[in-house]
Amino acid sequence: MTLALRRDMTPQERKEEERLFEEQKSKRQQSEQNTEKSEAGPAHPATVFPRDIKNAFLLQHQKLPTRYRVGQIVNILDLVFTYRVNMINDVTTTAGVRKSDHFSLIINVNCDYDVAPQQARYNYKKTDFTVLNQELEIFNRLVTELKELSVNDFWLCIKDICVEQLRNRRLKHQHRGAEGRVGWTLAHWHRSAKSTSCLEDGFRLVPMSTTKPL
């Protein structure tokens, strides 16, 4: 895409330009007043469009002067505006087209913007901690009853209570693409119960590094 800059305006042309600008400004102010007085709500296009245009944040991509003629002031004309930083790769200032004594701008537009993919993460569901605390209080009530049991019987009692509670009110979690899978917590309890049916030297502790998040 190539843009050519026009010549300097004469005093008469400049006055005409200022007059047209004042007329457009007056019409725009009158239009805004009519929009505010209209019955259109905040979501109506007649209200949303002027507000978005007014609040739009535009980036200027042209950073180099576009005029180097002898006797003229070196300046930058605001010709390349976008609302995204990565939309324009670069802007090159080159010689004018044919006999033009003004520079031209070659704008390299990025039409294939790569967006970094988001990493998959666990989406935890909300937990009712009141119900969870009520279920955990059962261990406090069983402390006196479990003191007289052996280590093996103590573990079997705890295991049965945990498996029953996990079956009824286990904490569920879901992972993107993991719908329909068997809950890991309940399956792990069944596996550890089979492998620890008889314990003589105490509880079987599972290292935290080998477990998965609930």
pLDDT of residue 156 exceeding 80, the answer is yes
pLDDT of residue 116 exceeding 60, the answer is yes
DSSP 16-72: HHHHHHHHHHHHHHHHHHHHHHSS--TTSHHHHHHHHHHH---EE---S-S---TTS
Pairing relation of β-strands 59-60 and 88-94? unpaired
Q: What confidence score (pLDDT) does residue 198 get?
A: 39
For the chain, domain boundaries: 2-109, 122-210
Q: CA-CA-CA-CA torsion for 87, 91, 66, 85, nearest 10 degrees? A: 30
pLDDT of residue 208 exceeding 70, the answer is no
Other CB atoms within a 10 A radius of the CB of residue 54 amount to: 8
Q: Please name which of 142, 169, 167, 171 lies closest in space to residue 157, comparing C-alpha atoms.
A: 142
Other CB atoms within a 10 A radius of the CB of residue 155 amount to: 20
Question: Per-residue pLDDT averaged across 110-139, rounded?
Answer: 68
Question: Per-residue pLDDT averaged across 184-198, rounded?
Answer: 47
Please indicate whether residue 62 or residue 92 has the higher confidence score (pLDDT).
92
Read off the pLDDT of residues 61-90 as tens digits, 9 standing for 90 and up. Answer: 776 666 656 666 656 565 677 767 777 778
Tokens at residue 198, please? 């008889």
When pLDDT is cut at 50, 70 and 90, the band that residue 196 belongs to is very low
Q: Are 170 and 183 in contact (CB under 8 A)?
A: yes
Alpha-carbon span 159 to 148, nearest angstrom: 17
- The pTM of this model reads 0.25
Q: Are 108 and 88 in contact (CB under 8 A)?
A: yes
Helix (H) or strand (E) holding 86: none
Q: What letter would DSSP give residue 180?
A: T
Q: What confidence score (pLDDT) does residue 70 get?
A: 62
Residue 47: burial class (beta carbons within 10 Å; 0-12, 13-18, 19+): middle
pLDDT of residue 190 exceeding 80, the answer is no
Please indicate whether residue 210 or residue 58 has the higher confidence score (pLDDT).
58
When pLDDT is cut at 50, 70 and 90, the band that residue 3 belongs to is very low
